[in-house]
């Protein structure tokens, strides 16, 4: 055992939060950037909401400790500091892709030669599908009107390339805050400044950044952002997503209107002319999924206590330590480190190897839960709230033994249905 790992754990101010989570028996969990673990607080707040349904029935909408009618807004307030949002700029609603459809429907206003949507070639497929479908809904051919900024190496994007693509034909820009494969953190402030100078609306996918790095969306002047809550926010599989909209857009008519986007005071007047909410609440489409909101209350309580700065600091320490061990112990086994080695690194590492799929299977068989990304990526995400430095050391040591003894050869180099 590396004595340094034990020393780092002894000096870890966040070590006590590990006991707040249910760690799978006999497992080292390194997949928190795909699905965060269940916490005892999230479990508690889920049961509390179930109990309110059991005791209050329909009166739960307006009575009890947390009336359901206002829960999306309350959770939005809890998430706002994580994205640098002001009061009313954040709402818990929908999912990543439905929120992207909502934001694109609202902000994509093609006119004249200004018809194109600017994205990138390294983003998660769901965002690309949504943006192409929005073009088609407006009668535009994605082959002509969809721009994807190229990557020079298949891992990273250059902000200069993105800015160069912000031509007078671009009507909307949508980019990831953190690239889901390499973990590169884009310079959002620089990109927003460039987009604002050109009067192009710009928004960000925060799925791999919220709860892992700091944001200042309001101060930067971003138009909108959207995200899931089941990765670093530990809200549970399929938990309700979130979105940010800058206050300068309050009062804007949502592209996709729905009853829960109404002004709370007039919603039950049942008028057929919508009285649009005056903040981010306007972009709700349907009734809140309360059972998928409830775990977030407990999860976000912990993030409020700790603060995103402390989380980012420990996260960077964990990945820094892991990279040091990888270079020291795995240099002879054909791995390539595919993530940044500086402050532009998010909360996970990417190891590339031709045998990545079968190496991931061997890791799982030996009690480490990694994440495979086609065609050759192994993502490892030590999470600040529940992973230890000893976890990191053990993960690299197990990986070394797997490679040294070629244990991966007993597995097929092919991903599972869910990777």
279-292 average pLDDT score: 97
Cβ–Cβ under 8 Å, residues 182 and 339? yes
Q: Are 29 and 382 in contact (CB under 8 A)?
A: no
pLDDT surpasses 80 at 271: yes
CA-nearest of 242, 227, 286 to 262 is 286
CA 285 to chain centre: 21
Mean pLDDT along residues 62-78: 97
Determine whether the annotation assigns residue 97 to a binding site.
yes
Decide if pLDDT at 1 tops 80.
Answer: no
The rounded distance, in Å, linking the Cα atoms of 389 and 140 is 51
Determine the Cα–Cα distance for residues 53 and 43; give it in Å rounded to an integer: 16
The rounded mean pLDDT for the chain is 97
SS3 268: helix
Residue 417 predicted with pLDDT over 80: no
Residues in a beta bridge with 224:
203, 245
Fold of 3-30+307-410: 3.90.1150
User: Is 54 exposed, middle or buried, given 0-12, 13-18 or 19+ CB atoms closer than 10 A?
Assistant: exposed
Predicted confidence (pLDDT) at residue 231 exceeds the cutoff of 80:
yes
Beta bridge partners of 368: 28
Residue 397 scores a pLDDT above 80: yes
CB 330 within 8 A of CB 403: yes
How far is Cα of residue 58 from the mean position of the Cα atoms in its chain?
33
pLDDT (average), residues 152-173:
98
Residue 119 contacts by C-beta under 8 Å, 6 or more apart in sequence?
127, 128, 131, 146, 147, 148, 149, 173, 174, 175
What pLDDT, on a 0 to 100 scale, did the predictor assign at position 418?
A: 75
CATH number belonging to domain 45-305 = 3.40.640.10
Torsion, Cα 53 57 62 63, to 10 degrees, reads -70
205 assigned to a ligand binding site: yes
Q: What gap in Å lies between CA 333 and CA 101, rounded to an integer? A: 43
Side-chain-facing half-sphere of 61: CA atoms under 13 Å:
9
The proportion of the chain whose per-residue pLDDT surpasses 90, expressed as a percent, equals: 97
Cβ atoms of 221 and 197 closer than 8 Å: no
Q: Is the pLDDT of residue 86 over 80?
A: yes
Q: How far apart are CA 161 and CA 121, in angstroms?
A: 12
State CA 152 to chain mean position distance. 24
Host H or E run for residue 380: strand 377-380
pLDDT at residue number 336: 97
User: Where does the pLDDT of residue 100 fall: very low under 50, low under 70, confident under 90, or very high at 90 and above?
Assistant: very high
Question: For the CA atoms of the chain, what is the radius of gyration?
Answer: 22
Section 135-148 average pLDDT = 98
Query: Is residue 344 scored above 90 in pLDDT?
Result: yes
For residue 365, the model assigns a pLDDT of 97
Q: Which two tokens stand for residue 2?
A: 């590396």
| Spatial separation of the C-alpha atoms in residues 110 and 137, rounded to whole Å | 12
Question: Is the per-residue pLDDT at 8 higher than 80?
Answer: yes
Residue showing tokens 């969306």:
217
pLDDT value of residue 62: 97
Average pLDDT over residues 121-125: 97
Q: How far is 392 from 29, CA to CA, in rounded Å?
A: 10
Instruction: Give the C-alpha separation, 287 to 176, whole Å.
Output: 28
Per the annotation, does 259 bind a ligand? yes
Q: Where does residue 268 rank: exposed (0-12), middle (13-18), buried (19+ CB within 10 A)?
A: exposed
Q: Band of the pLDDT at 413, cuts 50, 70, 90? A: confident
**pLDDT mean over 138-147:** 98
pLDDT score at 134: 98
For residue 415, the model assigns a pLDDT of: 83
- Binning pLDDT at 50, 70 and 90, where does residue 346 land? very high
Q: Is 230 annotated as a binding residue?
A: yes
Tell whether the model's pLDDT for residue 217 goes beyond 80: yes
Phi-psi region of 115 (alpha: psi -120 to 50; beta: other; left: phi over 0): alpha
Q: Where in the chain is the domain with CATH 3.90.1150.10?
A: 3-30+307-410
Q: State yes or no: 98 annotated in a binding site.
A: no
Is 96 within any annotated ligand binding site?
A: yes
Task: Report whether 226 contacts 79 (CB < 8 A).
Answer: no
Element (H, E) at 171: strand 170-176
pLDDT band at 221 (very low <50, low <70, confident <90, very high): very high
- Which alpha helices (DSSP H) does 260-355 contain, by range? 290-306, 308-329
Instruction: For residue 281, count CB atoms less than 10 angstroms from its CB and return exposed for 0-12, middle for 13-18, buried for 19 or more.
Output: buried
Q: What is the value of pTM for the model shown?
A: 0.97
Going from the C-alpha of 128 to that of each of 125, 183, 184, 255, 276, the distances in angstroms are 5, 18, 18, 19, 29
pLDDT in the model for residue 304: 97
Where in the chain do CATH 3.40.640.10 domains reside? 45-305
Across the range 395-405, mean pLDDT stands at 98
Q: Is residue 257 pLDDT above 90, yes or no?
A: yes
Give CA–CA dist 70/235, Å, rounded: 18
């Amino acid at each position: 055992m590396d004595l340094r790992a034990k020393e780092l754990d002894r000096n870890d101010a966040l070590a006590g939060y590990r006991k707040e989570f249910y760690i799978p028996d006999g497992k080292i969990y390194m997949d928190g950037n795909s699905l965060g673990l269940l916490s005892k607080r999230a479990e508690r707040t889920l049961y509390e909401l179930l109990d309110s349904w059991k005791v209050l029935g329909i009166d739960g909408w307006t009575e009890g400790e947390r009336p359901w009618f206002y829960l999306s807004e309350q959770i939005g307030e809890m998430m706002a500091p994580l994205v640098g949002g002001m009061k009313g700029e954040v709402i818990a609603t929908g999912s990543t892709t439905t929120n992207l459809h909502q934001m694109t429907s609202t902000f994509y206003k093609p006119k004249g030669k200004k018809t194109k949507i600017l994205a990138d070639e390294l983003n998660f497929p769901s965002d690309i599908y949504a943006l192409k479908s929005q073009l088609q809904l407006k009668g535009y051919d994605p082959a002509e009107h969809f721009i994807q900024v190229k990557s020079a190496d298949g891992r990273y994007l250059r902000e200069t390339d993105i800015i160069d693509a912000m031509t007078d034909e671009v009507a909307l820009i949508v980019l990831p805050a953190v690239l889901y494969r390499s973990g590169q953190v884009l310079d959002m402030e620089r990109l927003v400044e460039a987009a604002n100078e050109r009067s192009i609306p710009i928004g960000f996918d925060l799925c791999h950044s919220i709860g892992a790095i700091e944001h200042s969306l309001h101060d930067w002047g971003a138009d909108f952002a959207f995200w899931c809550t089941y990765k670093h926010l530990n809200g549970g599989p399929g938990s309700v997503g979130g979105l940010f909209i800058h206050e300068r857009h309050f009062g804007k008519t949502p592209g996709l209107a729905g009853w829960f986007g109404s002004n709370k005071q007039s919603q039950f007047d049942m008028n057929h002319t919508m009285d649009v909410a005056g903040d981010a609440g306007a972009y709700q489409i349907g009734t809140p999924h309360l059972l998928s909101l409830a775990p977030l209350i407990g999860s976000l309580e912990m993030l409020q206590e700790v603060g995103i700065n402390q989380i980012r600091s420990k996260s960077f320490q964990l990945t820094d330590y892991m990279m040091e061990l990888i270079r020291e112990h795995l240099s002879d086994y054909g791995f390539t480190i595919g993530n940044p080695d500086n402050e532009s690194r998010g909360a996970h590492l990417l190891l590339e190897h031709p045998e990545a799929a079968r190496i991931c299977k061997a890791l799982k068989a030996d009690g480490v839960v990694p994440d495979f990304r086609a065609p050759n990526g192994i993502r490892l995400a030590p999470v600040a709230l529940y992973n230890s430095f000893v976890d990191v050391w053990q993960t690299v040591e197990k990986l070394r033994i797997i490679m040294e003894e070629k244990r991966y050869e007993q597995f097929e180099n092919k991903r599972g249905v869910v990777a």
